[in-house]
Amino acid sequence: MAPTDAALVQRTLRGETAAYNVLVERYQRQVYSLIYRMIGNADDAGDLLQDTFLRAYSALASFRQDASFLTWLYKIASNLSIDHMRSRKTRSALSLDLELEEGREPAAERAFSPEDTVMRGAVAEIVHNAVLNLPARYRVVVVLRHLRGMSIDEIAEELRIPSGTVKTHLFRAREMLRERLRPVLDMETDGRVHHV
């Protein structure tokens, strides 16, 4: 029987770094996926994945044994991704704080390298690109709400913006996604596509 997360954390805290390796192997896919959905760049996602596990390792003593280790990793990864978007010297990322506070119009559509668009299934790729093409402020709330399952209030607290702003961003994001996914929605309605 595989050891529990809590047991592996305890063993790591006692100095058994091999136990931490098991946690890394167990959760790197999920954490990488969340980061990649938020920032849309494979190289940066790899760097942030490493940062996430290093942060978690450094702060392991503070991990509550009754909590979910994956949820804890998700929180660290989300915060690092948001900080990354805030600090990157790009047009869209520089203004994330402003975007979160205000209602700036979407940046132009982005180009994707072949490496970044490695996805299985045409529909999944369309949905993935639709999410990535959202303005940063909308993309963040969509990922936190629909891929991390956070509540509106939790997102507001994490992003430090009012709950009403989160709801507005989510509303607009879903509207934009609906328009961009129109061909898929029509295909589903016609019965040509049943699932991603």
User: What is the contact surface with another protein in residues (CB under 8 A)?
Assistant: 13, 15, 17, 20-21, 24-25, 28-30, 32-33, 36-37, 42, 45-46, 49-50, 53-62, 76, 79, 97-98, 101, 115, 118-121, 123-124, 127-128, 131, 142, 146-147, 152, 160, 167, 170-171, 174, 177-178, 181, 184-185, 188, 195-196
Q: Shortest Cβ distance from residue 30 to another protein (Å)?
A: 7
- At position 2, the amino acid (one-letter code) is A
Cβ proximity to another protein: between 4 and 43 the closer is 43
Taking the C-alpha atoms of residue 170 and residue 110, their distance in angstroms, rounded to an integer, is 21
- At position 161, the amino acid (one-letter code) is I
Residue 88 and residue 94 in contact, taking contact as beta carbons nearer than 8 Å: yes
Q: Shortest Cβ distance from residue 25 to another protein (Å)?
A: 5
Residue 71: CA count within 13 A, CB half-sphere: 9
Cβ proximity to another protein: between 140 and 142 the closer is 142
CA dihedral 113, 116, 118, 122 (to 10 degrees): -80
Q: Shortest Cβ distance from residue 4 to another protein (Å)?
A: 19
Instruction: Single out the residue of 37, 47, 41 nearest to residue 112, CA to CA.
Output: 41
Q: Locate 50 and state its tokens.
A: 């490493």
Q: Shortest Cβ distance from residue 21 to another protein (Å)?
A: 5
Q: Shortest Cβ distance from residue 136 to another protein (Å)?
A: 16
Cβ proximity to another protein: between 64 and 90 the closer is 64
Cβ proximity to another protein: between 92 and 148 the closer is 148
Residues 6+ positions from 184 with CB-CB distance below 8 Å: 123, 126, 127, 193
Report the Cα 21 to chain-centroid distance in Å. Answer: 22
Q: Shortest Cβ distance from residue 111 to another protein (Å)?
A: 18
Cβ proximity to another protein: between 4 and 179 the closer is 179
Under DSSP, the state recorded for 3 is: P
